[in-house]
Chains A and B, each alone.
Chain A
């Protein structure tokens, strides 16, 4: 009798350990799950290719250097030169009635970045370790749940709206006020980021014209209206003390910039016409986001 009881306890303990082990290993492994175009769900675990294998593959590429993939004399036909660019004309000639204002604001924002934001963010980065800055970013992202939740609802994306709530609950509790991000290990708790501008777009409201907002960057008329709405759903704006409200918003901005130093510089370095590159990049990205 006693033996049986002991056995039972042992089995119980084993089960608990097993459950815990599965839980932690699930947390540790990175699984990417994206709903693809056909609606099927494909899951692929990140593969751990050994260093040796990788170096081998690097050598392989080096060995085949002479056997280049580029045909030096290839000429595309007229049709091939223009294909896949049906909507391109529109982007290029698309309305930019505020061109001179926009370019002006682009330069103002550019200077603000290099003269004010970047030096502060660089100093902040020097003092505060990466991990803590990531926690801070997580915290603010978690706080932005209402915007994403409402925007999902307005697009009838009920599954994603629920996921936003689930994510918020998990990260606010297990993730300790949203500083941690345990939800990242559960693909279904990571819906794409939605905002009101996207919801308006989904309703069929056009972009209007392009506008470069000072300090905030590229936008369109529709997205600017969306942005104002977003601010109404931003909990930070409901803090009573103005000083606290603006300091927190500024802090959030510096923290975000500190995690993205170099990105803007790279875009600028790669572009012949940075303003057009940023404008086109924004429009391409937003169109895709609205379509999704």
Chain B
């Protein structure tokens, strides 16, 4: 009996230890560092390398946020109106829209900005808030907060707040208004047009 208790206690400790090896801040830091590493890398300095740099940045940003979760929360109850196929298309296009616009802006305006990790706050239901500040000579200090969720032993980011403006909430207002008298299909079509329009501008 004693042995069983001992083993289960050891197991429990081992499990919790494993789960807490990476903190939400570590998670955000790892992704941010990967992103700035590509931005800082001198090999992309040549104008001819800019497209390659963009592709590499996209690889990082593509896997830094949980776009499916972001999409669901940005649509709220309307998510249920989407068919399975529509859901997949929507997530894909929405990923392109937010990912690519921000990527382009950052690549264009980056002047060696650094990030400072201010605070980490655990929230109920396995969630966490990581408060950071982007330090920039040119743009001043801009607070950027990340909201993360822990599930299946993994953290993932499902909302970003830039200067206290939540990305999810901002899109939620827009989607809700559009879906008031439009079908999911129309919204997807509009998203597609927007993505293509942005692509053309490049």
* Chain A contacts to B: CB under 8 angstroms: 30, 32, 34, 36-37, 42, 44, 46, 49, 51, 53-55, 57-58, 60-62, 64-65, 68-72, 74-76, 78, 81-82, 85, 88, 91-92, 130, 134, 259-260, 262-263, 266, 269-273, 276-277, 279-281, 284-285, 288-289
Contacts and interface: CB of A to CB of B under 8 A. Distances in A.
With most chain B CB atoms within 10 A of its CB, the pick from A51, A61, A285 is A61
A32 B33 contact: no
B170 A284 contact: yes
Contacts of A81: 72-73, 75-77, 79-80
A280 B173 contact: yes
Contact of B165 (A82, A130, A285): A285
Given A30-B135, A262-B108, 20 more contacts: A30-B116, A34-B131, A42-B118, A53-B33, A57-B30, A60-B34, A61-B30, A69-B66, A69-B154, A70-B66, A72-B68, A75-B72, A76-B79, A259-B138, A266-B104, A269-B101, A271-B174, A272-B175, A273-B177, A281-B165
Contacts of B104: 266, 269
B37 to A, nearest CB: 4
15 contacts: A37-B121, A61-B31, A69-B66, A74-B69, A85-B172, A88-B172, A92-B173, A134-B138, A262-B105, A266-B102, A272-B174, A272-B178, A272-B194, A277-B170, A280-B174
Given A32-B116, A81-B76, A85-B172, A62 B164 contact: no
Contacts of A42: 118-119
Contact of B77 (A55, A82, A273): A82
A20 B64 CA distance: 44
B89 interface: no
A142 to B, nearest CB: 14
Contacts, number: 165
B174 A70 contact: no
Nearest to A64: B63
A46 B68 contact: no
B contact face: mostly helix, strand, loop, or mixed: helix
A69 B101 contact: no
A259 B140 CA distance: 10
Given A76-B73, A276-B177, A270 B156 contact: no
Contacts of A262: 105, 108-109
With most chain A CB atoms within 10 A of its CB, the pick from B37, B165, B190 is B37
A43 B172 CA distance: 34
Interface string B99-111: 0011011001100
Contacts of A260: 139
A281 B69 contact: no
A75 B41 CA distance: 38
A contact face: mostly helix, strand, loop, or mixed: helix
A75 B190 CA distance: 24
A37 B129 CA distance: 12
Given A62-B59, A71-B68, A273 B178 contact: yes
With most chain B CB atoms within 10 A of its CB, the pick from A57, A82, A270 is A270
Interface string B167-202: 001111111111000000000001100100010010
A69 B169 contact: no
B161 to A, nearest CB: 8
A92 B171 CA distance: 11
